Amino acid sequence: MFLRVDKLQVELPAPTAQDPNAAAALQELLGGKYGEMSTLNNYLFQSFNFRSKDKLKPFYSLVAAITAEELGHVELVSNGVAMLNNGPDDDSDEEDGGDLSDAPYEDMKDIRLAQAFLSNGGGSTPVNSNGVSWNNDFVTTTGNVIVDLLHNFHLECGARLHKLRVYSTLSDPTGREVCGYLLVRGSVHAHAYALALKKLTGVDIDKMLPTPNINLDQIPECAKYLAEGSHRRLYTFSPDDFSDIKGIWEGDKALPGDPKGPLEVVEGMPEGGKIHQLTGIPSAFTPDYAPEEMFEIATKLYKKSR
């Protein structure tokens, strides 16, 4: 089962400007081959299909716990995409539908993923940076624990490659923060899968890290997460279950180049941060052309529920 919490894993800084092409680049981290939809769905179905769950518990728990974190990453990237598509929140946008006959969105015909505006109202969907749909062919679930873990290690290294490349295309704070946070968390996941493979086979796969060989302290947006020790923390994302991942995520070995310290399992989830409002754009009919009555109905219902 899953529990939903109305927060993002980290708070994202507001965009400084509307930048739909930056949002399109960020889409690669959502619906690309190594994007969050891929990590989520690989671990999700591997955890469903996992055999001998009790006998192989720490390995099952590792895949299951990281699944929940990946769902939150899908949420984080999706929020980042929508924020960049929309620009800074502005309540005054919600007051008037404006003049449609004056081509208010003429610029939108020139953006790379026009569908994001034309069909999705400036939101995100599981497509890559060129609008190609994410699909099930990106999911590997073999039933063989070593092959699945090795696939997951490859997936996390591929995701790091994606994130470094997308990061190097972005100048706005929102997209860079998404990349910075996910680079640190992806590094934890690659490290965790490497340690799991080491426990099972004796092979020092962790010595291949980081791949690509860029230390995170070279990325300013990673610095605060490294300073607070996020690179040493693995979450269970559950109130009672999966704490046996301590059998895998243990020892005193942060990756070379990262601040040193013990690896820690945290029971539960990160504190998290606020979700961006995404104010309406009545002239694009979101939530609708004249939203006042809808806001009034919603306010009445909310008050009644308290």
Interface residues with Mn ion (CB under 5 A) are: 36, 39, 70, 73, 186, 189
- How many C-alpha atoms does 113 have within 13 Å on its Cβ side? 31
* Token code pair at residue 252: 């005193």
Residue linked to tokens 């010595």:
207
* Total number of residues shown for the chain: 306
Least distance (Å) between residue 144 CB and Mn ion: 20
* Token code pair at residue 132: 């190609």
The smaller minimum CB distance to Mn ion, of residues 145 and 284, is found at 145
* Token code pair at residue 84: 């960049």
Least distance (Å) between residue 25 CB and Mn ion: 17
Residue linked to tokens 């003429």:
106
Question: Helix 173-201 to helix 145-167 angle, to the nearest 10 degrees?
Answer: 160
The smaller minimum CB distance to Mn ion, of residues 93 and 206, is found at 206
Least distance (Å) between residue 36 CB and Mn ion: 5
* Token code pair at residue 97: 């539908």
Least distance (Å) between residue 192 CB and Mn ion: 9
Least distance (Å) between residue 155 CB and Mn ion: 8
Q: Helix and strand tally (H, E) in the chain?
A: 8, 2
The smaller minimum CB distance to Mn ion, of residues 93 and 177, is found at 177
3-state secondary structure of 233: strand
Least distance (Å) between residue 293 CB and Mn ion: 40
CB distance 280 to 93 below 8 Å: yes
Compute CA 109 distance to the chain's CA centroid, rounded to the nearest angstrom.
Answer: 28
The smaller minimum CB distance to Mn ion, of residues 24 and 66, is found at 66
Least distance (Å) between residue 156 CB and Mn ion: 5
In the chain, % helix, strand, coil (3-state, to 5) comes to: 55, 5, 40
The smaller minimum CB distance to Mn ion, of residues 9 and 174, is found at 9
Q: Which amino acid is at 215?
A: N
Least distance (Å) between residue 62 CB and Mn ion: 12
The C-alpha angle with vertex 234 and arms to 36 and 232, in degrees rounded to 5, equals 110
CB distance 26 to 166 below 8 Å: yes
The smaller minimum CB distance to Mn ion, of residues 189 and 232, is found at 189
The smaller minimum CB distance to Mn ion, of residues 117 and 235, is found at 235
- How many C-alpha atoms does 147 have within 13 Å on its Cβ side? 8
The smaller minimum CB distance to Mn ion, of residues 238 and 286, is found at 238
